[in-house]
Amino acid sequence: DAGVTQSPTHLIKTRGQQVTLRCSPKSGHDTVSWYQQALGQGPQFIFQYYEEEERQRGNFPDRFSGHQFPNYSSELNVNALLLGDSALYLCASSPERSGVFSYEQYFGPGTRLTVT
């Protein structure tokens, strides 16, 4: 059973550019969350997608946007990159079964983004 997968593993971009990161959730999971983890810090919640809609958003600017596809996979897009966007971007998935909430989130290996 494949876990959460993310691509690419590493990415180097220049300030002002745009980037797209991809995530495939764990089998049987339909909810995808994205987190940003700066060096030496805990992950910070960006947003969560369920049924192809953004359900909850953290304190991140509109430069951060996302999408969820019918197969539950997801993309994170960041526009107008800043040096401060350099971080490990983590995708987490969880199951959302009707009437039974599961709060455990399972993380992928992350995409390390470096902005120069």
Partner 1 sequence: QKEVEQDPGPLSVPEGAIVSLNCTYSNSAFQYFMWYRQYSRKGPELLMYTYSSGNKEDGRFTAQVDKSSKYISLFIRDSQPSDSATYLCAMNQMDTGRRALTFGSGTRLQVQP
Interacting residue ranges for partner 1, rule: CB under 8 A: 4, 6, 31, 33, 35, 40-45, 48, 55-56, 58, 88, 90, 92, 94, 101, 103-110, 112
Q: Please, what is the minimum distance in Å from the beta carbon of residue 16 to partner 1? A: 27
When the beta carbons of 7 and 18 are compared against partner 1, the nearer one is 7
User: Which CB sits closer to partner 1, 13 or 112?
Assistant: 112
Contact by Cβ (8 Å): 83, 15:
yes
Give the number of other CB atoms < 10 A from CB of residue 94. Answer: 19
Residue with tokens 């002002």: 16
Task: Between 65 and 106, name the residue whose CB sits nearer to partner 1.
Answer: 106
Q: Closest CB to partner 1 among 89 and 115?
A: 89
Q: Which residues contact 22 (CB under 8 A, 6 or more apart)?
A: 6, 7, 73, 74, 75, 76
User: Using an 8 Å Cβ cutoff, are 52 and 68 in contact?
Assistant: yes
Residue 107 CB, shortest distance to partner 1, in Å, is: 4
CB of 51 to partner 1, least distance (A): 13
Residue at 84: amino acid letter? G
Q: Specify the residue for token string 């059973």.
A: 1
